[in-house]
Each structure stands twice: as structure tokens, then as C-alpha cells.
Structure 1
Amino acid sequence: MAFSTQDSDEVLSEINVTPLVDVMLVLLVVFIVTAPLLTNAIPINLPKTEAVAPPEQKDPLVVSLDGAGTLFLGKEEIQPEQLEGRLADAKARDAELRVQLQADDGVNYGEVARAMAAIERAGITRLAVITAR
């Protein structure tokens, strides 16, 4: 603590932060202790229901590029020029069509970009790019 003497008329300009730190630590302990108690403050008996099956989702259409740059739609090998037309036909049959794009990490990025552009031109807005962890 800083004490001033009676014979000195100078103003003490140092702030003692120790009491502030003590108060903040006490508040922190109070919040740590009370926070878990706040989550179960109101006891509620929830009604029992029967399990409901989740809505059925259609499998996405998979567009794949292997290491050699060969393009596949599902399991079928196609030419890059055919991709946009085939996807547009699939989009016409299903307005909620989802597409997954998988590409080997050795494929030139230009091939992947061309496939993505064809998917966009076909009107597909739900595209997922699949990667390995």
C-alpha cells in the first residue's frame, strides 16, 4: 500500500489495483458457482411423444473426377461436354436436386473449375464439394 507522509504535499498518482483484482476474482468465483444452478431453475414435466421417422431425403447426384481427369456422373463415365446437359435434365426432373462434387487431389484445378462451372450453368444451386479429412 502507498502511504503519504504528513510533511509531503505531493499528490499520490499511483493506483493500487490489488483490491480491484480481489473483487474481480470473487465475482468470477460467484459466477462459476451460480452458472450451473441457473440451467435447472424451473422444473418442467415434458409430455411424452412417440418417435417420428425423419423425412426421407433423396441421395445426392455425385460428380467425380479421378486422378486421370476422367469425369463420372454417378458411376457412369461421361465426356465433359455432356455434363451440363445431363445435369440440366436431372434438374428438370427434380427441382430440389443436390449435387456432390468429388475430385482426386492430383487432378488439375482447371478440370475441377470447369466441372463446377458446368454445374452452375445447369442451374444447380445445391453443390457440396467433398474432401477427405
Structure 2
Amino acid sequence: MAMGIAQVGGRTRRSRRAPMAEINVTPFVDVMLVLLIIFMVTAPLLTSGVPIELPDSRANPIDQTPDQVTISIDSEGYVFIDDTRVPVGGLPEALERLDRGGDGNGPIIVLRGDRALDYGRVMAVMGELNRAGFNSISLVTNSGARQPAVSSGSDAEE
């Protein structure tokens, strides 16, 4: 490349370097790959912050929508709306404060209950959801459970 060479009086002399006209994309790619790894690691942690041991099920996974509200019940029976703990007895008021949306049906409720909970506690929360007008409720479980054994004895009848 003859850009940096100047000829003066028969002798060649190097002038100062000309500005480089190429863009070095290697640092840009490195930064983007690091950001991608950070987002891949943190994305599963953004779904819900309440630690719950979910029961197992063979149900198909549900699609997540942006207008859903996650209600979690931990192993002690405390209720959380998204990541905010609801005071004892304050669930009806907290449900009234939820945004119903423009169509009046309200958001999809995703209910997560710890496997150590009493069935009655989960049903009490579902009853409050129904009374507040939330009729679209999805129950969240772990996938990959074995098929339950079906008993054919007299215990199953009645």
C-alpha cells in the first residue's frame, strides 16, 4: 500500500500513519457474546422469585403470556402475588387491586403451590380467585413425573 510513503527529492520517506479506515468488530463480538451468556443465565431466574418445591405432573407445558399474574403459595402457606408477599387475610384486597385489562376478563392467573401444602389451602386460594372474578387459572407443576398407578380395587369406588 502506497498511502504511507511519500517521495521527496528522490528519497522515500515515511509519513505519519494514515487513519485506519477499517472497523475492528472483534471487541464488539466479544462483548455481545458475554451479554448473551449473562442473559441466558439470568432469564430463568426472572420468572418467579419465590422458592417453591412444585409437585410432579405429566401435563404439557403452558405458554407464558405477558399479561399473566403469578400467585405462589410457599410451604408455610404464605401467599405471594408475583414476588410480593400478601399479608394474612389480605388476599381479597390484593386481588381487587390487580389490573383487569380492557376486556374485563382480567389476566391469566398462574398458581404455584408447594408440594408440602395441604390441599385445602390451595383450594382456599382458588376460591378467593374465583370470588374475585378470575376464572382463567393455570396450575404449575414439574414435568416428567411417572404415570400414576390406577387401583382397581374397592377403594376406588364410591
**What is the TM-score when the length of structure 1 is the normalising length?**
0.52
Q: Which residue of 1 aligns with 2:129?
A: 119
- CA contact 1:80–1:115 (8 Å) conserved in 2: no
Q: Distance in 2 between matches of 1:59 and 1:65?
A: 20
Match of residue 82, structure 2, among 56, 74, 91: 74
Gaps of 5+ in 2: 1-64, 144-158
Q: Which residue of 2 aligns with 1:23?
A: none
Match of residue 85, structure 1, among 77, 84, 93: 93
**One-letter code aligned to 1:72:** F
Q: Distance in 2 between matches of 1:108 and 1:129?
A: 15
Higher-Rg structure is: 1
Q: Distance in 1 between matches of 2:133 and 2:82?
A: 18
**One-letter code aligned to 1:99:** I
> Identity percentage over the alignment?
22
Post-superposition offset of 1:84: 2.0
Q: 1:80 to 1:101 in 2, by over 3 A?
A: farther
Deviations 1:60-104 (A, max 9, x none): 111101111111111011124222222222144553311100000
Query: Does residue 110 of the first structure (1) align with residue 120 of the second (2)?
Result: yes
Aligned Cα RMSD in Å? Answer: 1.8
Q: Which residue of 2 aligns with 1:61?
A: 69
**What is the TM-score when the length of structure 2 is the normalising length?**
0.44
- CA contact 2:67–2:107 (8 Å) conserved in 1: no
Gaps of 5+ in 1: 1-56
Query: Does residue 101 of the first structure (1) align with residue 111 of the second (2)?
Result: yes
Runs (4+) of structure 1 moved beyond 6 Å?
A: none
Q: How many residues matched?
A: 77
Q: Distance in 2 between matches of 1:93 and 1:81?
A: 25
Q: Distance in 2 between matches of 1:78 and 1:93?
A: 21
Tell me, what secondary structure is at the counterpart of 1:69? coil
Q: 1:58 to 1:97 in 2, by over 3 A?
A: same
> In proportion to residue count, which structure has more helix?
1
- CA contact 1:61–1:99 (8 Å) conserved in 2: yes
- CA contact 1:88–1:123 (8 Å) conserved in 2: no
